[in-house]
């Protein structure tokens, strides 16, 4: 490790998803110094998730100490509705908290300065700074995993709207469709999220699968039930992306999250479906995210370094 890295210290980045947490130590060049992963205990309730977050941040802090590094700041990103200005987790359908002063809570429990953000907006920021959307000024980044959400960048500026912007997963794509965790019916998440794909395949066949990756593999093998489930998901995604394109005119659509790991099996039909739905609109280039499941964590790290430079906080 260089003397400059020891002098500058590091930041903690934590990306809390509905299924797992990804944590990292990052130096000022956004290089990963150490990482950790753990399950998100959402089935045990919001309090258990909060305890796991605290434990993970403290574990990362111990890793930094073991490397002889001071921690300048911690960046934590979570799903749901996040008010960046107030640093509050307003609501999360997947985790269950409401109107929680999460940054202040973590600062008190961990003894570190914390910047709170939204997991998908953080992923979008990372893709714009370090990944597939470098140089683009109008971007729609869509993360498809346990849930579905989007980050919007228009004319180079992120759209937050008090944390409510980007809820693409709760655009209705099947009127009168299945119940969604948000309280609505027929939302995109009920059709195209990783959990929805696995559940739909099991409902059609009576055979359970481990997850969306299994459905993708079966689709590639020509399994009729898997192909029907996959086509339904692609149709819903194309419908939702066409709506977003009409409203925001992105030049680039970046698909990320676990489902995007299917590559061209997902991108080719979604691209064709979106193209078929557009008329006079600006036609965005649709690409796969470059940063994979690291995007949210890297975005949290970017936010942490920005906060550290803004406040001039010394390493702890």
Tens-place pLDDT, residues 214-263: 999 999 999 999 999 999 999 999 999 999 999 999 999 999 988 999 99
- Band (pLDDT 50/70/90 cuts) for residue 1 is low
In the chain, pLDDT over 90 holds for what percent of residues? 86
The per-residue pLDDT for 4 is 56
- Band (pLDDT 50/70/90 cuts) for residue 8 is confident
Query: Which domains are assigned to the chain?
Result: 3-122+294-311 (3.30.420.40), 132-289 (3.30.420.40)
Q: Average pLDDT, stretch 133-153?
A: 94
Q: What DSSP designation does 261 have?
A: G
Whether the CB-CB separation of 14 and 23 falls below 8 Å is answered with yes
Q: How many CB atoms lie within 10 A of CB 203?
A: 11
The whole-angstrom separation of Cα 95 and Cα 101 is 15
Nearest Cα neighbor of 236 from 261, 204, 212, 266 is 266
Whether the CB-CB separation of 41 and 79 falls below 8 Å is answered with no
pTM (predicted TM-score): 0.89
Q: What DSSP designation does 170 have?
A: G
The whole-angstrom separation of Cα 30 and Cα 114 is 18
Angle, CA 49 vertex, CA 111 and CA 144 arms, to 5°: 115
- Band (pLDDT 50/70/90 cuts) for residue 314 is low
């Amino acid at each position: 490790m260089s003397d400059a890295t020891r002098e500058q210290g590091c930041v903690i980045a934590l990306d809390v998803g509905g299924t797992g947490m990804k944590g990292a130590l990052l130096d000022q060049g956004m290089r990963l110094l150490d990482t950790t992963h753990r399950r998100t205990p959402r089935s045990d309730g919001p309090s258990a998730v909060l305890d796991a977050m605290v434990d993970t941040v403290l574990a990362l802090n111990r890793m930094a100490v073991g490397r002889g590094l001071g921690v300048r700041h911690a960046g934590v990103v979570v799903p749901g509705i996040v008010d960046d200005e107030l640093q509050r987790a307003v609501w999360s359908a997947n985790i269950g908290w409401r109107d929680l002063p999460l940054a202040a809570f973590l600062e008190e429990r961990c003894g570190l300065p914390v910047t709170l953000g939204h997991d998908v907006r953080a992923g979008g920021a990372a893709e714009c700074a370090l990944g597939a959307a470098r140089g683009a000024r109008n971007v729609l980044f869509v993360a498809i995993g346990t849930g579905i959400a989007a980050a919007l960048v228009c004319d180079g500026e992120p759209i937050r709207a008090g944390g409510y912007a980007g809820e693409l997963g709760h655009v209705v794509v099947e009127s009168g469709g299945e119940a969604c965790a948000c309280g609505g019916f027929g939302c995109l998440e009920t059709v195209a999220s990783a959990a929805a794909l696995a559940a739909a395949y099991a409902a059609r066949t009576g055979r359970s699968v481990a997850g969306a990756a299994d459905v993708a593999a079966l689709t590639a093998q020509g399994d009729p039930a898997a192909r029907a489930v996959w086509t339904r998901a692609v149709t819903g995604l194309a419908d939702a992306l066409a709506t977003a394109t009409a409203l925001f005119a992105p030049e680039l659509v970046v698909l990320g999250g676990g489902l995007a790991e299917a590559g061209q099996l997902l991108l080719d039909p979604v691209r064709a479906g979106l193209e078929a739905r557009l008329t006079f609109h600006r036609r965005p280039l649709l690409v796969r995210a470059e940063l994979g499941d690291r995007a949210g964590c890297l975005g949290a790290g970017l936010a942490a370094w920005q906060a550290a430079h803004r406040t001039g906080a010394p390493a702890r």
